[in-house]
Amino acid sequence: MAEHHQICIIGSGPAGFTAALYASRARLNVVVFEGHQPGGQLTITTEVENYPGFEHGIMGPEMMDVFRKQAHRFGATSIYESVVSVDLSKRPFTLKTDRNKEFTADSVIISTGAAAKLLGAKGEQEYMGYGVSACATCDGFFFKNQHVYVVGGGDTAMEEANYLTRFASKVTIIHRREEFRASKIMLERAKKNEKIEFVLNTTIDEYLGEILESGAKKLHSLRILNTKNNETSVVPADGVFVAIGHKPNTDLFKDVLIMDETGYIQTIGKTSYTNIDGVFACGDAQDSVYRQAITAAGSGCMAAIDAERWLELQH
Ligand code: NDP
């Protein structure tokens, strides 16, 4: 028989564990499906300095371990499996995992997060966290007085480039064509910024770096490709911020939950309610704007409170 829980939480980032903390403290029977990346996106970052309460910062993986332990302390449990299918058409809801186990739930909280889109160029994975990043808010601070590149021509790229000028000595926006998706105002702001320069019709072919004496890796340059004349060249670079968009991890709920065109789950008003009664969404799976650990955690708290109150009404 399928194992039953009052609340099944899918996803184990700050949103999922905050929901688990609140739900377990409300004495609800709650389980977190940790998925293929237990702890979520923060486990692939290095130091987190902007989460309030950690005066001296904390490493991303360590922070998620604290989140997990805090939720477990009040009775939430973790299942280290990925949910591969859901049936939200009738209650109790049914979830199946990659180990072919079945679970049922009175209520489901979706906190599956999002993933930054990457270029897939050679060396990208190798230098991720060692010069290559997908989050200026998280890592910009580490590039004081350095020359960094921002890849992309949308609002995120413009915003990240502007933000990075607080730290970097020079920011080069590298974009694959001449037209921009970015809104006029954001583009103008970037163009007016003296620290920002544009390299157009160009993509990154390869990330190049070295292994330091300490054993750490460090990016030092890029092989770039001019898409007009197909010429390549090598340019020095201290850092690269890939800002070509995010993809929410919501394929599981396609055609079931209402989403925007990118796949972000639409929640109702200022709540975590989705279009299905008893199914709530929080964190980056429903947030294309803020995408911060602290906002994800806040929305996880909202989802747990919404689920708790909704469950109360079912009696
Ligand atoms: P967008 O989809 O708007 O832009 C992505 C950019 O990345 C495009 O310029 C695209 O190029 C480029 N790109 C995509 N794939 C590749 C690739 N493989 N190689 C090279 N370049 C690539 O995403 P954003 O994240 O910028 O924005 C998402 C949404 O969030 C938008 O609606 C935006 O307005 C909004 N937003 C709003 C902000 C604000 O108002 N403050 C801030 C940030 C985002 P191409 O144009 O050639 O396809």
For ligand 1, which residues put their CB under 6 angstroms from it? Answer: 119, 152-157, 159, 176-177, 181, 203, 244-245, 288
Tokens of 291: 């995408």
Q: Ligand 1 mean position to 210 CA, how many Å?
A: 30
What is the distance between the alpha carbons of residues 309 and 7, in angstroms, rounded to a whole number? 12
Q: Which atom belonging to ligand 1 lies closest to the Cα atom of 183?
A: 34
Read off the pLDDT band of 54 (50, 70, 90). Answer: very high
- For the chain, where do the domains classified as CATH 3.50.50.60 start and end? 3-115+246-313, 118-242
Where does the pLDDT of residue 1 fall: very low under 50, low under 70, confident under 90, or very high at 90 and above?
confident
State the CATH class of domain 3-115+246-313. alpha beta
Strands 102-110 and 239-242: unpaired
List pLDDT tens digits, range 134-189: 989 889 999 999 999 999 999 989 999 999 999 999 999 999 999 999 999 999 99
Rounded to two decimals, what is the model's pTM? 0.78
Given the DSSP bridges, would you call strands 202-211 and 196-199 parallel, antiparallel or unpaired? unpaired
Please count the other Cβ atoms lying within 10 Å of the Cβ belonging to residue 212. 10
Q: Distance of CA 51 to CAs 111, 235, 292, Å?
A: 19, 35, 9
CB-CB neighbours of 255 under 10 Å: 6
**CATH numeric code, 118-242:** 3.50.50.60
Q: How far is CA 72 from CA 12, 17, 147, 211, 263, in A?
A: 12, 9, 43, 39, 31
pLDDT the model gives residue 42: 84
Ligand 1 pocket check: which of 155, 178, 287 to mutate, most ligand atoms within 8 Å of Cβ?
Answer: 155
- pLDDT of 46 reads 67
Q: Are 95 and 284 in contact (CB under 8 A)?
A: no
Active-site residue set: 135, 138-139
